[in-house]
Structure 1
Amino acid sequence: MTSTTDFPSPFGDLLSMACEHAGLDATGARLIKLTNNAVFSLARDPYVIRIAASDLVGAQARKAVSFAQWLAANDVPTIVPMDGLDQPFDVEGHQVTIWQLVPSNDGRPTVRALAEILRTLHSSPGEAPDLPAWDEIGSIRRKLSAQDVLSTEHLVFLTDQVDELATLLHDVDYVLPTGPIHGDAHTGSLIAGTDGTVLCDFDTAANGPREWDLMPIAVNTARFAELTDEQDQLADEYGFDVRDWDHYDTMRRIRELQVLVAPLPILSFDAGVRTEWNLRYESIRAGNATAVWTPWNRVDLAARSNRDA
């Protein structure tokens, strides 16, 4: 049976302490994701535990809980926080949230299910409370400032890219209404449950341009060899193809930087992620928009299985 000592440090110990705080049992827990958060599925209690991997990610935890509650109130299919527990809570400087387990139907979430959920989210009235204005440029800057793993050359190049894109973003004309967005909407942000597919992973939720929620699938389709028609499916179901938008290229480049900086907190101790990160960095530096990337869940990562793309 899996022991918490089998997980990458310090997350095994943090899991044990989080479970003790909430009155749960960590025995046999399974690590299902490790990028911005370490995400564990418990074996003996019907809950999933998310432990923020950095202070920047941890700062989004309270927003994630609040946004999930707003989604549920607006009939958007969503994961639900554990009842009767003040969340998030701190464990050794890491913010922790606990969520009710969604029983899986053993199927892979579909792009059409994502498009249907996004249409429901994007048609919800008004702005969600406690959500910040969308500022992906600012988020990327903060992650670059907080990291300590990049070479000076890497950091200078990426900072220059962000500066250029910030200037280009000023001239972007949006064609869809603004409002609550998920901020990282791909099939890895869904769970195919026995009672239907639900949305999860709310660290990047904001009030902002709906076009941004349509970018992940478009970029994934362009970058990942095994995905051929996902963007066509999304556009057909949602009713808008973001690739036809005049400002697609600017938003594509911002999205690619977003996913490049996401694993910086674990880059120093995960060799598999570092190898793939280097490939992605070099293709961006070369201006190669068609280089094939490997989804994070296909990278050979030590001691874990990651289901996100």
Structure 2
Amino acid sequence: MNADHLHAVLNDAVSRAGLTSDRPAAIRIGENAIFRLRPGVVARISRQGQLETARKEVAVARWLQKESVQAVRVLGEIQQPISVCGHAVTFWHELPPHENGSRVELAASLRSLHQLPVPREFELPLLAPFEGLAERIESAATFSDAERQWLRRHLDDLRAEYDRLPQGKPHSVLHGDAWPGNIVRSTGDGEILVIDLERFSVGPPEWDLLHTAISYATVGKLSHVEYAEFVDVYGLDVLDWSGYPTLRDIRELRLTLFAAQMAAENSQSTGQASHRLACLKGELGERPWKGWEAVP
């Protein structure tokens, strides 16, 4: 996002919110832009077209506070989000200095989250596990026509399998992107905070267990002891559920297409995208697959 454009959007939103900020400082400019307005207060500018998602994030933050869940907190006295030039601007209390939570802390947070009643004050959407995947396949220029055709068939097969998903735990509130970086620990008092609320939804709670299960069983990044600790704290081993392979395959497809999306922006990710696709196609043997690395 262009810096001059972002500052114009921010200045407009700050004025309309009745706030003041002499010299807003950019904390991060990426898919979303974060600016510090003053000590303890930040503004978040979304990509264009994300107004409904921002509305949901604000509603979820207020609901979590009401439910006494420690999470990132929205600035409560402002009617938000504020729409400027197609961007959704929201205002938040700045997080204290923090670090990623542990897998055990993630398990405890998910166990508590999944026990909350579904909110009545607003409607959380149903989990949409296939959102954006068809578009990512078509735009995956790093793959050949034959590879994209295979991906289309694979996506169709997974849609059909998801429609026949066997019964698991009752549907619950989901975080939607449950990895240790989204359950952070304050370095001051050790408080655990839930962050990144944009993918909250309602659906099978097993979805939130996928990141850890895949880290263990698909790519071998977790030891047996580490995974067993996560399972013991949460109280369920999702690997034992007959619906796990379907959710796992959907998640692996999402991870592969994310790498392809990044490869379109940074050629350094091309090899990782091709490696992941080869794994999905069964060309590199059985899981756990080695060589899955983070993409920029």
Residue by residue over 1:5-56, the C-alpha shift from the partner in whole angstroms, topping out at 9 and shown as x without a partner, is xxxxx25345423432224466552328x4xx3353638543454444464x
Query: Retained in 2: the 8 A contact 1:217–1:230?
Result: no
Q: Matched residues in 2 for 1:26 and 1:163: separation?
A: 50
Match of 1:31 in 2: 28
1:119 counterpart (86, 97, 111): 111
Question: TM-score normalised to the size of structure 2?
Answer: 0.80
Inter-CA distance 207–243: structure 2 relative to 1 (3 Å threshold): same
For residues 210-221 of structure 1, the aligned pairs below 5 Å read 210-221=205-216
For residues 148-187 of structure 1, the aligned pairs below 5 Å read 149=141, 152-187=145-180
Letter in 2 for 1:161: H
**CA shift for structure 1 position 132:** 1.0
Query: Retained in 1: the 8 A contact 2:21–2:37?
Result: no
Inter-CA distance 202–109: structure 2 relative to 1 (3 Å threshold): same
Letter in 2 for 1:38: N
How many pairs were matched up?
Answer: 283
For residues 1-309 of structure 1, the aligned pairs below 5 Å read 10-20=1-11, 21-22=13-14, 23-24=20-21, 28-31=25-28, 34=30, 37-40=31-34, 42=36, 45-53=39-47, 55=49, 59-105=52-98, 107-127=99-119, 129-137=122-130, 139-141=131-133, 143-144=135-136, 147=139, 149=141, 152-193=145-186, 194-195=188-189, 196-224=191-219, 226-228=221-223, 229-262=225-258, 267-286=263-282, 288=284, 289-296=287-294, 299=295, 301=296
Q: Matched residues in 1 for 2:23 and 2:154: separation?
A: 43
Inter-CA distance 264–177: structure 2 relative to 1 (3 Å threshold): same
Which segments of 5 or more consecutive residues in structure 2 lack a partner in the other structure? 15-19
Inter-CA distance 257–148: structure 2 relative to 1 (3 Å threshold): closer
**CA shift for structure 1 position 198:** 1.0
Query: Retained in 2: the 8 A contact 1:30–1:40?
Result: yes
**CA shift for structure 1 position 119:** 1.3
Inter-CA distance 168–31: structure 2 relative to 1 (3 Å threshold): same
Question: TM-score normalised to the size of structure 1?
Answer: 0.77
Q: Matched residues in 1 for 2:42 and 2:219: separation?
A: 28
CA-based RMSD: 3.1
Percent identical pairs in the alignment equals: 25
Query: Retained in 1: the 8 A contact 2:260–2:269?
Result: no
Inter-CA distance 134–250: structure 2 relative to 1 (3 Å threshold): same
> Who wins on radius of gyration, i.e. which is larger?
2
Q: Matched residues in 2 for 1:79 and 1:253: separation?
A: 31
Q: More deviation in 17-26 or 127-136?
A: 17-26
Inter-CA distance 51–285: structure 2 relative to 1 (3 Å threshold): farther
Q: Matched residues in 1 for 2:247 and 2:111: separation?
A: 20
